[in-house]
Structure 1
Amino acid sequence: MKTPLSIACLAGLVAVAPPHLAHAADAAAGRIKAAACRTCHGIDGIAKIPIAPHIAGESEIYLQTQLKAFRSGKREHEIMSVIAKDLSDEDIADLAAWYASIRISVELPE
């Protein structure tokens, strides 16, 4: 049974849902779109060049925030600013879903 308090809590959560989650991200579409990212970040999210970060398994929210910052000019990088400027919110959500869906493992040295 739902109490008035639990209903109010659920309503509050819906009311404050981040707007970047409005699009249902599609990781499969993100994989296709990631073809443009593969030179630097790899299709697997493991950087192929020394100046690019590994992005496999990063948080979807983090990836979306960074791509939107590059797109808006809030964050600048000579390559990423150019690439991100033409990305739609859907593109960003899909790319973030793809790279966030990649599972990586870590093995600590003895």
Structure 2
Amino acid sequence: MSFLRWLPFGKVPELTAERLDTQKSSIQIVDVRTAKEFEADHIAGAVNLPITHFSRHAVAELELDRDKPVVAICLSAHRSIPAVRQLRGMGFEAYQLAGGMKAWWKYSGGN
């Protein structure tokens, strides 16, 4: 596997906060922030898998549905970039939340 997949910059497919909100019931959310960040606040229904623990084995343990899109989320849409690359490499239809949790909070009126 190429180390380039782990770089936290570059372009990956994205969803806006509004689109995520309107399609939440049909999308799986993987929050790649630290456990502490996740515990402080997260989107309802999200599961936490910190990017520092991201691996095929860890993703398999989440038991994600391969027939549903996955959205990776971090604070500002940097840590989620390699997560999206890894998920796509595993065969998932994966996106990142454009702007990360900061965009979600702005959209939803939170934090």
Specify which structure has the higher proportion of helix.
Answer: 1
Q: TM-score, normalising length from structure 1?
A: 0.30
Q: Please report the TM-score for the alignment, with normalisation by the length of structure 2.
A: 0.30
